[in-house]
Amino acid sequence: MRIGLIGFGFIGAELYRRIAADGGRDEVAFVHGRSRERLADVPDDMILDDLSKAGDRAPDLIVEVAGPEVSHRHGAAFLSLADYMPLSLTALAHDALYDRLVNASARSGRSLLVAHGALVGLDSLVEWREMWDEVAISFRKPPSSLGDGGLAAMAENILFDGSVRDIAARYPHNVNAMVACALATTGLDRCRGRLVADPAIDHLELAIEARGRDGSSLSICRRQPARGVSGSEMAAAVHASICRAGGHSGAMAFV
């Protein structure tokens, strides 16, 4: 695959390194970043300044690691020419944008790809998605991973407890895995999201509780070191999703 990368922070730069080192299975079609200084190690002919010209680089897959505004501005156009994997999934909590992207995918035959990211157990959640009656996902994070230093002196604080659609609007850069969970199970309005700031911890905790109509249940818990707003495993998880990206059919696929 020829892969376009949008965003060159910690995750984007690590994806670039992994793709370049994978022995030629995939290749980078272009890299787009906000700062030319961060792209100092990227060859000039690989840098794309104008995203409206992404089609000139003939990508098979475009991966967004730069923020939800990219999907709002360019997502439908990307899907007219390539598969599209937005990592800022909170953008999909906007119904109008979600519909626009799914419709663009249906017209072009390209896929809107939802990466599992920090969401462990995605395969099981998707396989049983018609059975789930109640699903809740919670994050416990140190204040530094929420981008709010003002919380540092506070005790444990429940910042939000409600629908994933509402928490995605409130915290668009912190709850992408919650949106993936909701899309894979009961939907953005029925799936419950809970976000807790805890200054006593230096890691991230994710917990999922799902209950089925037949009385079955699934519990998932994960703890990992923090790396900014994401976990330390995020780049590896996204690269694994990229490796599974080819050959999907349908407007939206989970990888």
| pLDDT band per the 50, 70, 90 thresholds, residue 240 | very high
| pLDDT band per the 50, 70, 90 thresholds, residue 228 | low
23 pLDDT higher than 80? no
Of residues 145 and 65, more confidence is placed in: 65
pLDDT at 145: 85
For the domain bounded by 122-229, which CATH number is listed? Answer: 3.30.360.10
Summarised one tens digit per residue, pLDDT across range 89-133 is 999 999 999 999 999 999 999 999 999 887 888 989 999 999 999
| pLDDT band per the 50, 70, 90 thresholds, residue 85 | very high
Least confident piece of the model among 20-29, 134-143, 156-165, 169-178: 20-29
* Cα–Cα nearest to 237, from 177, 190, 184: 177
226 pLDDT higher than 80? no
| pLDDT band per the 50, 70, 90 thresholds, residue 154 | low
> What pTM, to 2 d.p., does this model score?
0.91
Q: Where in the chain is the domain with CATH 3.30.360.10?
A: 122-229
Report the percent of the chain where pLDDT is more than 90.
77
Q: Where are the beta strands (DSSP E) in 93-131?
A: 112-114
Report the percent of the chain where pLDDT is more than 70.
94
Is 236 in a helix, a strand, or coil? helix
How much is the average pLDDT of 200-213? 95
pLDDT at 231: 59
Q: Where in the chain is the domain with CATH 3.40.50.720?
A: 2-117+234-254
**DSSP secondary structure of 132-167:** EEEEEEEEEE-GGGGT-GGGTTS--EEEEEEEHHHH
pLDDT at 211: 98
What's the topology of domain 2-117+234-254? Answer: Rossmann fold (3.40.50)
Least confident piece of the model among 63-67, 148-152, 205-209: 148-152
| pLDDT band per the 50, 70, 90 thresholds, residue 22 | confident
Q: To the nearest 10°, the Cα dihedral for 17, 18, 23, 24?
A: -80
| pLDDT band per the 50, 70, 90 thresholds, residue 229 | low
